[in-house]
Amino acid sequence: MERSVRHRDLRCSVAMSDSLRVRVFSLNCWGVRFLSKHCVQRYAMIGEMLSKEGHDLVLLQEVWSEKDFLFLKKKLSCSHPHSHYFKSGVIGSGLAVFAKHRIHDTFLYRYSLNGYPYMAHHGDWFGGKAVGLAVIKIGNLTANVYVTHLHAEYCREKDSYLPHRVVQAWELQQFVRHTSAGADVVILGGDLNMHPQDLGTRLLRSYTGLRDSYLETAHFDGCENGMTLIEDNPFISKKEIVPFEKGIRIDYILFKGSSRADMSCTSLCTTKGSVPDHPFPYSDHEALTAMLKFDPRTSSVTDGVAQETDLTGVAELVDILTEARTEVKVGLHCAERMRHSAARTGVMGLALLVLELAILAVFWLALGAEQPFPRVSFYLLAALCFAILLTTFLLYIFYTIEIKSLQGAEDQMRLAGGGLQEKLRGFPPTLSKS
């Protein structure tokens, strides 16, 4: 028994002595059938490109139609024999994973907040935004691969969805932390709809330790500043990137290693708004391709340096959590105000309906008396009252759910902040002073 254990350990150490390289691709496909321009042609272009490029992992967002996923699955059956489509919401989560390596397990977590159903022209609520997890064995390593798509930012100056996106970022980091404990490497790709310095991005990266491939790469080839939504893309309206003239960076490939494997990004490239020999690009977003390198972990950091790094990170996390709690509280107050307005409107509708029924009862009891209102008007007014009551009732329920979700997230952040403060007080005074 002891000999077999030693033999297995020797095999593992030999396997980990060589570096592994994994090529990761991420793209928001903008695949809204009958609404997105040249949708069928673009999927054909994407499938052709992916079958030739030979990426190890392909992480796609906004594949809203399962028919489009099945088309890509058939197209990539030879180059990427393993795939999974994450189903969620009314029209699906839009998330899909294609891989050269076998997918051993999958899981989907749907965000508790995702916009408003009455904002139908935005459509985020119907999409069921979520994060998908695929557990993949790459060589001798277990890789947790995540693909996600967060709520869009439609107006930076008056961003009514910011509290929802902050809660989504909070739930995303929780999901990654709690599910990746046994993983050797972690890879997250997707459209976060957040700028690098936005609150949600800082919260996600600081809490999970995920590293940005654009900031970590040794070689970059792509749009200026790594932008993934650029003005040179013919599908982009300048209103979408206001107040930024050239573009914004909202799509990411993030990664981190573990005690067993170290990770680095040797190269990163993006598309640049056009595709050679084609009249239009793959999508309104630019695609990212990162070459990630896995190396055996060698610990060379002394305890003192590591402790100082931990102290800085904890202090930064406390500030970020405080900022996030403030933003969630703003959203909470707004939701409470909207619920109060819905309740008040519902009471007014109920009072109008009661008044109408009282008038009807008076003339019904006074036999032979003629009604003062035409019957059509009377029935239309009754239908209006019922419509008001039903709408306000549904809105009241929706805002109550939103309030509960915001309160739950704020409570979690408060507890996490208390734990961090306690951890901060536990550092030696010499480190705290430094």
Q: Which residues pair with 28 in a beta bridge?
A: 61
d(CA 290, CA 255): 10
Token reading at 34: 């009958």
Cβ atoms 290, 413 nearer than 8 A: no
Sign, CA torsion 31/37/40/42: negative
CB-facing half-sphere around the CA of 176: CA atoms within 13 A? 29
| Nearest residue to 229 via CA among 247, 206, 256 | 247
Q: Which of 55, 84, 101, 285 is catalytic?
A: 285
Instruction: Lay out the sheet containing 288-296: strands in order across.
Output: 82-86, 95-99, 57-61, 20-28, 288-296, 261-270, 220-221
d(CA 169, CA 286): 22
Which DSSP helix (H) or strand (E) runs through 127? Answer: helix 124-127
Question: DSSP states of 94-125 as a string?
Answer: -EEEEESS-EEEEEEEE-S----TT-TTT-HH
The contacts of residue 72 (CB under 8 Å, 6+ apart) are 43, 46, 47, 50, 60, 63, 83, 96, 98
Cβ atoms 91, 64 nearer than 8 A: yes
| Nearest residue to 101 via CA among 69, 132, 145, 68 | 145
What separation, in Å, do the N-terminal and C-terminal C-alpha atoms of the chain show? 51
Active site residue 84: no
| One-letter amino acid of 224 | E
Which residues are catalytic, by number?
Answer: 285
